Structure 1
Amino acid sequence: MTKPIETWLTDMDGVLVHEEKVIPGAPEFIARLREAGRKFLVLTNNSIFTPRDLCARLRAAGIDVPESAIWTSALATAQFLNEQRPEGTAYVIGEAGMTTALHDVGYIMTSNAPDYVVLGETRTYSFEAITRAIQLIEAGARFIATNPDATGPSPAGSLPATGSVAALVTKATGVEPYFVGKPNPLMMRSALNKIEAHSETTVMIGDRMDTDVLSGLESGLRTFLVLSGSTRPGTVDRYPFRPTQVFSSIADIVPLVTQEATDE
């Protein structure tokens, strides 16, 4: 027998917002969760922004998400590194979301024999910085990347993302990075631990089969795929795994929050 849904995890881009514009039903979904007293987290592989930044961006779009309910690949990466090597050192290619998360766990940023090279998202990848990262990895630094996404969206089309730049570094060094963000189940487990949730009573909502649904599946969660983002209806059956349910958008999931709360 399927257990009731008690906690919710949801991707941000393609589920709640698209290019910073609200997706219909998203404000109502978050409001319904808060009214029902449901624990939830908004997850994103984007490591550029801090939770405070993302909170403000969502609020500007009309979605009221507390800063504490946002979990980024940068936070998951910082937590992972702190568990692996507390108070270590890192050479970081990334922006405030990544550097702030590492500072908050006591890491020191340095280009002098760091424990790790950490590659995150940025809109201004520097050839000089990438070259330095390659040299440090060749000298023995461990290679970490926040997520494997090859591209990111922009109004003009796709932008190279962390996965593409990581491939460049790997080609030059022969060293593969350890990706912390989705689809690594580590991202899901760290999110579940943050809100003290259990996999059997948690749902992951996402718009990508290869990250959101895959990581949810491998973490033992039910998965809801929405077709308002990256995944097109005709491509779902091409994957060797399936989501628990498929919805047109987050608006179709809003009634389920009320239903689950009423059924208790």
Structure 2
Amino acid sequence: MSLGFSVDELLPKARGGGQLRMGLVRLSEEEWLQPAPDLEARTSGFADWPQGIQLTTEAEASGRELAAMLGINGGLREAALASHEDMCLLTRRAGEDVYRLIGAAVAWPSDWYPSDKIGLPLRALHAPIAGYEAQLATGVDRFMETLKPGAIYGRCNWFIAPTGARRWLANGSADSAFSHVTADNAGETLFVRSERQALRRLPKTGAILFTIGIYVAPLGELSRPNKAMLNDAIETLVTGEGDRRGALHYASQLKNYCERIPE
């Protein structure tokens, strides 16, 4: 199953709210990365937010391996500059059985700072996500351990954001961020943000590459079936992960907007 490269294509296959799950699908090499990245946007994205690149010495060899796979010179930074996707590298240190973040090239984060995460093991990386430890951590650890070189697996999720910017850093209170949203303007003031994520193991160094493709669209531009899906899903988003991202402050406006859409 192909995931697609737009919010409308990703939403039917994406997780948002409810029980956490990996929801992985096997991707071909051709389905791995967006085929026509906006390289000007990538260059300006990293130029505007240089702290999005965090590299340890452990990432040097795997970064070079990744760049060579993409047919370019350099390392992780150059690989991410040449792709639509943000890119992270994880590996196990000698004597450890956990994967740690050893390199990040992230121009368009979804409310996180690579400088806060570099060097952390997987469970600590995901600590802010409600339910991760209980529902998903063991399965993710097992997947990382057994992932073979050559295989590519993808998944996607969605959030509601108060901005259409690709770089989303939710500074300030959610109450303030969504205070301008009404049932009348929700189609233009609420944005659906989807992360198209993929995992693969690099064959030489054994590091695991995690790619994150960001896609954002105004609620009003989505297909009617996707608006209906969001309307149904918002009830489960108000608790857990959605609560952390301010769902209480826009849920009623989103539902009111979606329920007004004629059949």
Tell me whether the two structures share a fold, i.e. TM-score over 0.5: no
* TM-score in terms of structure 2 length: 0.28
* TM-score in terms of structure 1 length: 0.28
